[in-house]
Amino acid sequence: MKSRFSLILIGCVVIFGGILFFTKKDASAPTTSNGQAVKASTHARGEGQKKVTVTEYGDFQCPACAGYYSVVEEVFKKYEKDITFQFRNFPLRSIHPNAMAAHRAAEAASNQNKFWEMYGQLYSTQTAWSSLSDASATFRSYAQSLGLDMTKYDADVKSEATNGILNADIAEGTKLDVTGTPTFFIEGKKIENPRDAESFYKLIDEAIAAKNQAQ
């Protein structure tokens, strides 16, 4: 576990360097073709009984994000009743050529209430599609396996609304000084990526305790 997370953290450092050009290029607030502002995504799960929110800015093609996926799932399983877990799109287009297509697929699945199913599929199979020259057909096969209306999926994958949501997430992340993936926030405060699930537990427990003291 420790050695695997050392590799994950090294991967994050590489990504941090590669993202600088990307964030400068895409930091402007997104609008639709008629000038209307586009809101960021609202992908969230968990009962949130302790009123603590954990947010991840992630990239489906990022190896470090895929490495953290199982840990995030372990953390969520433990705190499902206590926290709200939110995911925001932060595809690193300059270094991950299939990232935007993956995030468009997830947003299209979200329009049919299957975001988290697609989220899990994309991360758990990342090595199968990451090196493809065009992964669109693979993502479409995932959509079919989830039982989506494929006519709607095909339209939503290419829609201006979908791209608007992705750009809005990127803009929000850039405002929060997200410079690589994964980047985690607990109660709006950016944290250093935990080395393992136990380290994550400690941070969440501290946030819950602080919330209780403030009430």
Domains of the chain (ranges; CATH) run 2-205 (3.40.30.10)
What pLDDT does residue 31 have? 58
Q: pLDDT tens, 145-195?
A: 999 999 999 999 999 999 999 999 999 999 999 999 999 999 999 999 999
- Count the neighbouring beta carbons within 10 Å of the beta carbon of residue 82: 17
Entry pTM: 0.86
- Count the neighbouring beta carbons within 10 Å of the beta carbon of residue 26: 17
**Token reading at 78:** 């433990």
Q: pLDDT tens, 113-145?
A: 999 999 999 999 999 999 999 999 999 999 999
Considering just the CA atoms, what is the radius of gyration of the chain in Å?
17
Across the chain, mean pLDDT equals 88
